[in-house]
Structure 1
Amino acid sequence: MVATADQYRWSSHAGNAKGLPDPLLHPHDCYLHLGTTPSDRQQAYRELVQQAVAEDAARFAHHLHHQQPMGNDRFRAAIEAQLGRSVTPRKVGRPRKQTQETSVPDSPSQKQI
């Protein structure tokens, strides 16, 4: 694990976000549309990455707080199989009572004794 994306050896982040030379990196059209100058593109790229990291961190915190695994359906199914119980969040609140059509007794004032 690394503290920041540009520290990862195989990441293009250092080239895209900081403009560090990388002979393997060729700018994608989407990257070129982030700004008119290299510094504008680098700033926009850093902001996009920071936004994505913040969203992932919030999602991770939510799953951690609710003690739920974070992953796709296949991953959750594997966890449920190992634990032998459901890890899918349930609906909040009490289950609804099942409605049955029953006759309501007459009020005491209407009954004849």
Structure 2
Amino acid sequence: MPRLPRFNLVDVPQHVIHRGNNRQACFFEPDDYLFYIDCLKSAADQESCDIHAYGLMTNHVHILATPRRHHAVSRMMQSVGRRYVQYVNKRNQRTGTLWEGRYKASLI
């Protein structure tokens, strides 16, 4: 069965949650949090998303974002995920996935 399409409403805030695979850690050192924030800011600017708040836990992330274009949140999360996983895998000499499937999002 195909995945259901995401809601992509412009100017409607979304609560985004992205969990570590098997609820394992996705942040290992203080520098990891800083790099993730940098990736998030860069992707949000590039994809026209306003970030209102975020919470970076050891094994998951919460983000409150408002897209200013269609599919902006999806593209932002794809960019952040790609850059951050490459960084973590290279830094920790590991391979494979870091995140547990697709991010989850709710309209606010």
- TM-score higher than 0.5 here? no
- The structure having more radius of gyration, on CA atoms, is 1
Query: Of the two structures, which has the highest relative contact order with CA contacts closer than 8 Å and spacing of 6 or more?
Result: 2
> Which of the two has greater helix per residue?
1
TM-score by length of 2: 0.28
> Which of the two has greater strand per residue?
2
TM-score by length of 1: 0.27
